[in-house]
Amino acid sequence: MPDSLKARKKFWELPIGELNDTEWEMLCDGCGRCCLKKLVDNESGKLFWTRVACRYFDQETNNCQCYKERSAVVADCVDVKKVLEDMPDWIPPTCAYRLRSQNKPLFKWHPLLHGSSEIMQNLGISIKDKCISEEYVHADGYHEHVIRWVED
Ligand code: SF4
Ligand code: SF4
């Protein structure tokens, strides 16, 4: 892309592959949805989301408690970069990375557009106060906590 055109665009409007590391991290809206456990039907391969959150998801701050080591600490922690292309369903439909990888605009509530996470919290995009830690749910009981995204 010519530099003149790039200069006119906000980084969240650029092709996702052109973002530098800082821009990539800033694109995350902090919703925490990718930290929810998923179930896969062995026969159909269908993916189901649950409201069960990873034990390292801090529900007070809406942050990962082991972000730098997350891949080593949690085997099924989704690597967004790796799944975007082949398994986008493993990323929530509102996720900024999924949207931009499909060349779709961010939702208006995204903190980068709105200036704060307040409206996003009010709209219930964040999983804060809506999830339950895996510490309190036996893996055999995840199916009792299946959810669906209204945005799907
Ligand atoms: S779902 Fe996407 S935007 Fe939300 S916390 Fe995960 S990576 Fe960030
Ligand atoms: S390790 Fe961190 S980023 Fe990964 S699923 Fe758990 S809370 Fe989310």
pLDDT given at position 33: 97
What is the per-residue pLDDT across 35-57, written as a single tens digit (0 to 9) for each? 999 999 999 999 999 999 999 99
* Ramachandran quadrant class, 83 (left: phi over 0; alpha: psi -120 to 50; beta: rest): alpha
Phi, psi of 17 (to 5 degrees): -70, -10
Name the residue of 35, 37, 62, 134 whose CB sits within 8 Å of the most ligand 2 atoms, as the mutation to test its pocket: 35
Scanning the structure block, which residue is given the tokens 């896969």? 40
Q: Could you tell me the two tokens for 102? A: 């499909």
The pTM for the full model equals 0.91
64 in ligand 2 pocket by Cβ < 6 Å?
A: yes
Q: Could you tell me the two tokens for 79? A: 């690597």
Q: Could you tell me the two tokens for 11? A: 């980084």
CA 148, chain centre distance (Å): 14
Per-domain residue ranges of the chain: 31-147
What is the per-residue pLDDT across 117-128, written as a single tens digit (0 to 9) for each? 889 989 999 999
